[in-house]
Structure formats: structure tokens, C-alpha cells
Amino acid sequence: MRNFEIPTRSVAVSTNAMAASSHPYATLTAINILQAGGNAMDAAIAACAVQCVVEPGSTGIGGDCFALYAPKGGEEVIAFNGSGRTPKALTIDWFEERGLTEVPRQSAAAVTVPGAIDAWTRLHADHGRLPFADILAPALGYAKNGYAVTPRVHRDWSLEENLIAADPAAAEIFLRDGRAPQIGEIHKQPKLAATLSRIANEGRDAFYRGSIAAEMVERLRSAGGLHTLEDFAEASGAYVTPVTTSFRGCTVHECPPNGQGVIALLILNILSQFDNSLDPTSADRLHLEIEATRLAYAARDAWLADPEAGEVPVDELLSEAFAARLAKMIDLKRALTELPDFELPLHRDTVYITVVDSERNAVSFINSIFDSFGTGIVAPQSGFLFHNRGQSFSLKRGHPNMVGPRRRPLHTIIPGMVTKDNQTVMSFGVMGGYYQAMGHAHLISKVVDYKMDLQEAIDLPRLIPVSGKVPRVEAEQTLSADIVEALTARGFQIVPTPDPIGGAQVIRIDWRNGTLMGASESRKDGIALGY
């Protein structure tokens, strides 16, 4: 039960349908689409398109998309991987010849062919109901007529003024006299409106072929990229089989690699090796979650990659034996100072949306340009930003996630779904780059293990271990001094996080009462709404 003396918000409750997103315009758009006769997939795509306009630092049509879909709220969960590939001409040699040891952020080399529009059009064609032009109409309206900038959007925008200013086309669209728009100012994107109009009327080919594709290729090649019209024409996402694990009687579904959903499941498997007798907000419990995450992320960094480029040992990563092996390494009295070298057999910006409609079709939908404002490079006439997802590639020759021709990088964005007793019971997601796998496990554990209120679980203080063998942990300022002191005494280096950690949305289906409950991230501008 919520403590009503604490300044937070109640969960949303409804009987018919519900949507939750990180922006009020997007959530309201989803509800409007549902009330106009659309289904959950229509509403999710429409909401995402709106966020591509009103949250330009977090997402855009120049990014990628993943989705999970549970028709009629049954136990079958359908997954779609809408991540883009590198150009055919891009090889590890190209980086080595230039002496690069990592992919530069503000470069064409960081841009894989954007997969979002392909994902939207495929998912709509297969599972939507309303005309596609109707789905994109709200976003087109906001781009053409303008929208008021909200507080969290302004904050994130203002932190990237230098990045935006480095590209004249980006500065023209996203800066006013060299600064980000203020809270409450109206921002318009007429060039993006024209692009959305073409996509709405002509479909995916308007983006991947013709003048828009030609402009993208020209802009990227002018920045040193190797992209071709053929790379764009051949772009295609794919339906994939979800990966799952059992956690306390529930089945948790994630998209398979190249996404890091398998790592969220690995963290849950490690937590399953311990009982839930620890206080959920105690130093012991947070210690356990930190160490489970550090161990799982070490495995991720060693093995996660595009499965089409090489074998990813998913079965071994999800085996009980592997989870038990990692769990035995955790000592609740002291932090691990050495992480294992695995030999298995052969904080970023994103938007997440969840929608459940009156037929209980459930959609878990995530779209991203990776870092805030991505590469900062804009297609000047089409008016949208390119993502920088290629920065997730390894430039270590021989690494499973090594950059190469037509490869997809390790992806952080992961939608989630939970089923139990042959029914979907929860659609959820957590934004925040590399935090997302930990965020999924943290949220599910708090709701399933400890029966927490959805909003309460989202509002808890967050922390995330920094990659590497040193037990360094970034923590939000709301983490109590007593907990910080206790974790420090065990050897963790607790440092303040420069930004709020992540964001989450979740909808739970209560089949017994025929109701829906939803929650939305208090660290963002969004809301959950139902009717």
C-alpha cells in the first residue's frame, strides 16, 4: 500500500485500456488512438512517433526499435528486432588504418542503417488496425504546429548544446541563439513534418529508397561514411524467438541477442539462487543486486554480439549451472575485487512505451538513438538525427562484437514481458542504456519477490556498477547515507551519478478483477493513463 504522506503518485487504474510512456503527449496520443478504434500496436507506434518529435534527444526516426507483442494477453509472445546493420563496406581494417581504438560518437562510422521505420511499418502491417497515415498524424501535427518543451526534455537538451552546435543543420533545428529551448517554449520541426508525411503516405520505401535515402547516404558519406543506397534498400528487421527464464513461478520474456535481454534474465537467475528474506532496500539486498549485475555484465561484455556474425552461447548463459556458479562468487560481507574471465562453450537515452488494449493485446515497445541526440548529425533536408549505436561495437580484432560488414552491434534497448498461468500479466521496460538489464531485474524482483506497488518499485533509489573490475558504483542522491556507508565499508566505491538513472513504465493485467494497473517514471515527464 502506498504511503500517501510521501510525495509521489498513485498507480493508474482502469478497466478498458491503458498506456504508459515517458512523455504526456505520447501517452495521451496512445489513449486517443485506442478510443478512435485502434489497437495496442497502433497506439504504441503512434505514441513512439510523437516521442520522436517531442523528445528529440531520446529518440527519433533515425534510430532503432525493438518490440514484444502478446496477442489477446495469451502466453505467446512475439518479438521483433528492428536494429540496423553496418554498411557492407565497413570493416575492422577501416578503423585500424585510422588508428582508432573506439568508434567516435560524432561520426558516420557510428551510424548503422536506422531500423525504426522498417520496424514500425512491419509491425503495423502485421498487427495494426487503423490506416498508417492515421497513426503518424499526431506526430506530424506536433512537428508542423509545434509543442511545448517539458522539464526533463529541456534538461537533457541543454546538456547537449555543444554537440548540436557542431553540426549546422542540427543547430538550425534544435538551437535558438545557440541554446536549447526553455521549458514552455514552442518548438517546431517543419522538415521532420514533411518527412513524416511522406512516410505516412508512401510507407517504408519513402525512407529506405528515393530522395530521403539518397540524402542520408550523401550526408553520411560527406562525413566520411561508407553507406550506399544499396545498404538502405536492403534494410530489414526480423521476427525472432524470445528468450525466457522462470522467476518465482513467472516466465520473463526478452528479445534475444544482439540485445542484452538475455543479461537481464541472467541477473534474475543469479537472484533466484538466493531467497527473498533480505529487506528489499537493505544494504545486503543492494549488495546482492550490484554483484549479480557486475558478474552478468562481465559475461555480456565477453559474449554478447550479433548472432548472425558468430555464436552467442544463450543456452549456457541461461543455464542454472552458470547462475549457480556466479552466485557462489558473491560474498555479502565484501565486494568482489576480481571478476572472472569467462570461458563458455561455443547509460543512454531511449523511450519506452507499453500499451494494453480492451482485448488485452499487450505491446512492449522501445525506440532509441542511443546517446542523447545521438551523433548530433542531422539529415539537413529531412530534419532528423542519426543515432550513434555503432559505438557499441568492439574494435578488438576477434571479439564476438567486433565491427564488420552488415553487422548489428550489441544493443542495450530491451522491452520486457511477463507471463504466468498461460496469460500475460505484465508489460514493462526500463530505459537507460547499459542500466537496462539491471533495471529489468531490479523492477521484476521488487514487484514479484516483494509485492511492491508498481510506482513504489519504480521510484526506489537506483544505482549501477560501472564497467570494469573495480567495484565502483554510481548512485542517485536519494540513496540513504546509511546505505552508502554500509556499502562503502564492504569495499564498494560509491560515487554520485551525473544523471538520474534510467526510466521505467509498466502495466500489470489483473485477470481476476478485469482491471489494469500502470505506472510511469517519476524521473521523466511522462504518465500512465487508462480509461
Higher per-residue confidence, 403 vs 310: 403
Instruction: Give the type of residue at 363.
Output: V
Residue that has been written with the C-alpha cell 549488495 in this structure: 287
In this prediction, residues 396-407 reach a mean pLDDT of: 96
Please write the tens of the pLDDT for every residue from 267-288: 999 999 998 889 999 999 999 9
Instruction: Tell me how many degrees the CA angle 316-317-323 measures, rounded to the nearest 5.
Output: 100
Q: What angle do CA 122, 124, 126 make, to 5 degrees?
A: 70
* Position 13, amino acid: V
What is residue 345's predicted lDDT score, i.e. its pLDDT?
Answer: 43
Half-sphere exposure of 189 toward its Cβ, with a 13 Å CA cutoff? 36
> In what helix (H) or strand (E) does residue 65 lie, and over which residues does it extend?
strand 64-70
- Whole-number Å distance between alpha carbons of 143 and 368: 18
- pLDDT-derived band at 517 (thresholds 50, 70, 90) equals very high
Q: Whole-angstrom Cα distance, residue 292 to residue 514? A: 36
Stronger pLDDT, 483 or 339, i.e. the higher one: 483
Mean pLDDT of 412-435: 95
* 528, containing H or E segment: strand 528-530
How far, in Å, CA of 374 to CA of 378, rounded? 10
pLDDT (tens digit, 9 = 90+) per residue, 365-378?
Answer: 999 999 999 999 99
C-alpha–C-alpha distance, residues 365 and 51, integer Å: 12
DSSP notation for 161-176:
HHHHHTSHHHHHHH-B
3-state secondary structure of 404: coil
pLDDT tens digits, 17-71: 999 999 999 999 999 999 999 999 999 999 999 999 999 999 999 999 999 999 9
Q: Collapse the DSSP code of 358 into the 3-class scheme (helix H, G, I; strand E, B; otherwise coil) and give the result.
A: coil
pLDDT tens-digit profile of 141-193? Answer: 999 999 999 999 999 999 999 999 999 999 999 999 999 999 999 999 999 99
| Cβ-contact 354, 76 below 8 angstroms | no
Q: Which residue stretches of 304-328 are H helix?
A: 314-317, 320-327
Q: What is the DSSP letter of 387?
A: P
286 phi/psi in degrees, rounded to 5: -65, -40
Q: What residues pair up with 426 in beta bridges, in sequence order?
A: 418, 508
Q: What does the pLDDT average to over 118-135? A: 98
d(CA 353, CA 364): 6
pLDDT reading at 343 higher than 70: no
**What does residue 239 show for φ and ψ, rounded to 5 degrees?**
-70, 135
The stretch 336-342 carries a mean pLDDT of 84
Residue found by looking up cell 520474456 in the block:
253
Give the pLDDT score at 344: 47
- Per the prediction, the chain carries an average pLDDT of 95
Residues assigned a catalytic role: 350
455 pLDDT more than 50: yes
What's the grid cell of residue 465? Answer: 556498477
**Backbone region of residue 357 per phi and psi (left: phi > 0; alpha: psi in -120 to 50; beta: other values):** beta
Measured CA to CA, the distance from residue 77 to residue 112 in angstroms comes to 27
Rg, Å, the chain Cα set: 22
What is the structure's pLDDT at 348? 53
Q: Return the C-alpha cell found at 62.
A: 533515425
Backbone angles phi, psi at 341, to 5 degrees: -90, 115
- The pLDDT score that the predictor gives to residue 346 is 38
**pLDDT value at 15 more than 70:** yes
pLDDT of 469 above 80: no
Using DSSP bridges, classify how beta strands 238-240 and 243-247 pair: parallel, antiparallel or unpaired: unpaired
User: Smallest Cα–Cα separation from 429: which of 56, 68, 3, 9?
Assistant: 68
Whether the Cβ atoms of residue 260 and residue 411 lie closer than 8 Å to each other: yes
Residue 403 near residue 92 (C-beta atoms within 8 A) = yes
DSSP string, 217-276: HHHHHHTT----HHHHHT---EEEPPEEEEETTEEEEEPPTTBTHHHHHHHHHHHTTS-S
Tell me if 474 sits within 8 A of 339, measured CB to CB. Answer: no
C-alpha span between 49 and 359 (Å, rounded): 23
> 84 and 115 in contact (C-beta within 8 Å)?
yes
**H helices within 402-497, ranges in order?**
436-444, 454-459, 481-489
Could you report the per-residue pLDDT of 67-101, keeping only the tens digit for each?
Answer: 999 999 999 999 999 999 999 999 999 999 999 99
Prediction pTM value: 0.96
- C-alpha grid cell for residue 409? 552491434
